[in-house]
Amino acid sequence: MISTMLCTTAADFKCNTPQGSSGVALRICGQAVLVSEFTVFGSMPDRKEAILKLLNYVQSFSEYKNIMQRVNSLKGRKHSYEHGEDIVLKFLGMGAEDYSYPISSKYRDELILIKKRLRVVASKGTIVVKNDTEEYQKQPNVIEGFQIATQTT
């Protein structure tokens, strides 16, 4: 799903959008699809925010690496997580390179913060919460009683 949103080369974009519309059209399976309006925060802010919202629910660094390995792998081929992360970082910074905040966005910085706050391994037996919450930071590695329940079955 993420790979269809992360198109960063000129060949992936079609400049002539339908008459009367403004924005960026993306070529998907040979069809031009209007995906977003250009704003002061760069191109495709709705797509960038969607990626960050999804990554806010990642529970561990190993899960983050697993997601990034699959970015842009339409045929199921995995890359290094660094390769996928680089693609995502370029996409998040697209259209905002020449401006400073607050005219520009902080999408790239937000991805770096998400990565920094992740645990090495996800908590076991806990509910999934956003990784930018106090509840996430206070979760134990293993919830009391979870280990006993899994050992008896």
pLDDT tens digits, residue range 60-115?
A: 999 999 999 988 756 667 789 999 999 999 888 887 666 666 666 788 899 999 99
> With 80 as the cut, is the pLDDT of residue 126 above it?
yes
| Lowest-pLDDT choice from 4-8, 83-87, 144-148 | 4-8
State how far the alpha carbon of 19 is from the alpha carbons of 14, 23, 134, 145, in Å: 13, 11, 48, 62
Using CA atoms, how far apart are residues 58 and 132, in angstroms rounded to an integer?
10
Q: What rounded mean pLDDT belongs to the chain?
A: 73
- Dihedral (CA of 71, 91, 49, 1) sign: negative
Compute the average pLDDT of residues 39-55. 80
Q: What is the b/e burial string over 86-119, where b = at least 16 CB atoms within 10 angstroms of the residue's CB?
A: ebbeebbbbbbeeeeeeebbebbebbeebbeebb
Handedness of CA 9, 27, 94, 98 (dihedral sign): positive
Q: Phi then psi for 137, rounded to 5 degrees?
A: -65, -30
Which two three-digit tokens encode residue 34? 């209007």
Q: Higher model confidence: residue 129 or residue 28? A: 129
3-12, 48-57, 67-76: which range is least confident on average? 3-12
Q: Span 14-19, mean pLDDT? A: 39
Share above pLDDT 70 across residues of the chain, in percent, rounded to a whole number:
59
- Give pLDDT, residue 75: 64
